[in-house]
Amino acid sequence: MSGYNAVLARNTENAPAGIGPYSQTVAFSHYNNLSAQLPIDPKSGKLTAGGVKEQAEQCFKNIKAIVESIDHVMSDIVRITVFVTNIKAVDAVDEVYKTFFPTYVPTRTTVAVAALPMDALVQVEALVSNGEGTIPNAPQSGDLIKLTNNTANAPISALSAQAVSFSHYSNLSAQLPIDPKTGRLVTGGVKEQAAQCLKNIKAILESIDVPFDDIVKTTIFLKDISDMEAVNEVYTTFFPDSAIARAVAYVPARTTVEAAALPMAALVQIEAVVSYGDGTPPQLVEDRHGIIIEANNTENAPKDPLSTQTVAFSHYNHLSAQLPIDPKAGKLVAGGVKEQAEQCLKNIKAIVESVDHALADVVKVNIFLKNIADIDAVDEVYATFFPGGVPARRTVGVSALPEGALIQIDAVVGNEEGTPPIVK
């Protein structure tokens, strides 16, 4: 990359060192991407003693230490993701959560997964605003403001904002299939629930004057991965949403995984990351209008009609989760988790290179494993692609993955050149 926007990886001794080849936080442009924090005591390097409350508190203490080490505060967090191994533990986590966010609340996703590294009961991840930006020796608009939003047309929670915009992105809380009028799950099966999740997302976007087709990435958490085809039927009725998007067959990048359980015993939950072309004040006028979405697919990685391999907007590229599929054969590669991890990363590398970037531009990696015990084997392969351990990272064990894969990986990549209007 050029010296315009720099990938800035940082670590502090006041939070646990990574248990793999990754950094605690990686800043690029106006966001800090934090690695998911386990309940590890940074002094001992071991899990903190106690139950889920004590573990949740340690996770948040670690996040706070990282945030403060880069001269930020907890209210700069725009999104929190909570992973638990028992959905019934969420109430205990919430008690702790409230003490760290007594007034302002970020957007939030909560999901139960099959397993977490080190047999932890909880793991917490944060995305943090970075008002000063990452232009070396040339601070950007350090007084950029966050815009939080709630509408009565979507479910309201005291523990999370529906949308938090900062700079050129809006991050939405994961939407459950809750009817906002009744506050209860909609009746019916997974199709009806998927439709309600997407309706809620659409209502939130309309409340901030953002079109549905400005979504750049969705993450779908399913209670049963075999419901994916039914969800896809509904999904295609929402995407593409406009004549312009239909003309180019635009669909966002996407990740789909099976959750062990979801809040309120829902069958599906959907999270969205949205482009925000107007930016948040006081960005300069020339930085706030006409920025375009750039979607890209390459023959060198697997294609899916329901997702774009990478969607760039402003200074980020959001990649669809990559399965260990050989793009030539269209099938899972032979072998075990090492071979599958290598293919996932090869696919990511092919996509990144197809948009004239390099793996050194990757700021965040999310790894979903069928067996959490495979992480050491995965790290052997991972270190050959990221020898400096720069990207921030999240690793969770999931109940099942599409195609019966053992591993799935997605990534967020810096886009130094941005996406200005195309001049013909």
Could you give the C-alpha distances from 253 to 138, 217, 271, 409, in angstroms and in order?
A: 32, 5, 12, 13
Beta pairing partners, 178:
185
Residue 1 is predicted with a pLDDT of 36
Residue 211 has pLDDT above 50, yes or no: yes
Token output for 26 = 């990686």
Nearest to 253 by CA among 299, 305, 309: 309
Phi and psi at residue 194, in whole multiples of 5°? -60, -40
CA distance 83 to 80: 10
Mean of per-residue pLDDT scores for the chain? 94
Residue 327 is predicted with a pLDDT of 98
Q: Write the single-letter amino acid at 376.
A: D
CA distance 27 to 129: 9
Q: Which residue has the tokens 């790894």?
A: 367
CA distance 190 to 234: 10
Residue 135 is predicted with a pLDDT of 78
Domain ranges of the chain: 1-88+98-136, 141-286, 290-424
Nearest to 219 by CA among 118, 107, 299, 315: 107
* 118 DSSP 8-state letter: G
Residue 421 has pLDDT above 80, yes or no: no
CA distance 54 to 122: 10
Three-state SS for 303?
coil
Please name the helix (run of DSSP H) or strand (run of DSSP E) that holds residue 219, with its range, or none: strand 215-222
Residue 142 has pLDDT above 70, yes or no: no
Residue 281 is predicted with a pLDDT of 86
Banded model confidence at residue 4, pLDDT cuts 50, 70, 90: confident
What is the percent of the chain where pLDDT is above 70? 95
Residue 115 has pLDDT above 60, yes or no: yes
Note whether 1-88+98-136 and 290-424 share their fold.
yes
* Bigger pLDDT: 180 vs 243: 180
Please name the helix (run of DSSP H) or strand (run of DSSP E) that holds residue 346, with its range, or none: helix 337-354
Three-state SS for 69?
helix
Side-chain half-sphere exposure of 32, counting CA atoms within 13 A: 30
DSSP letters along 162-185, please? Answer: SEEEETTEEEEPPBPSEETTTTEE
Give residue-wise pLDDT tens across range 393-418.
Answer: 999 999 999 999 999 999 999 999 99
Residue 424 has pLDDT above 80, yes or no: no
Residues 40 and 118: beta-carbon distance below 8 Å:
yes
CATH topology (fold) of 1-88+98-136: 60s Ribosomal Protein L30; Chain: A; (3.30.1330)
Residue 423 has pLDDT above 50, yes or no: no
Neighbours of 284 (CB within 10 A): 10
Please state the CATH superfamily assignment of the domain spanning residues 141-286 in this structure: RutC-like (3.30.1330.40)
Neighbours of 20 (CB within 10 A): 18
- Cα R_g (the chain), whole angstroms: 20
Give residue-wise pLDDT tens across range 254-299.
Answer: 999 999 999 999 999 999 999 998 889 887 655 556 789 999 999 9
Residue 2 is predicted with a pLDDT of 41
Residues 257 and 408: beta-carbon distance below 8 Å:
yes
CA distance 67 to 61: 10
Q: What is the architecture, at CATH level 2, of domain 290-424?
A: 2-Layer Sandwich (3.30)
Residue 291 is predicted with a pLDDT of 87
Cα torsion at 99, 100, 102, 104 (round to 10°)? -160
Give residue-wise pLDDT tens across range 157-171.
Answer: 999 999 999 999 999
Residue 197 has pLDDT above 60, yes or no: yes
Banded model confidence at residue 5, pLDDT cuts 50, 70, 90: confident
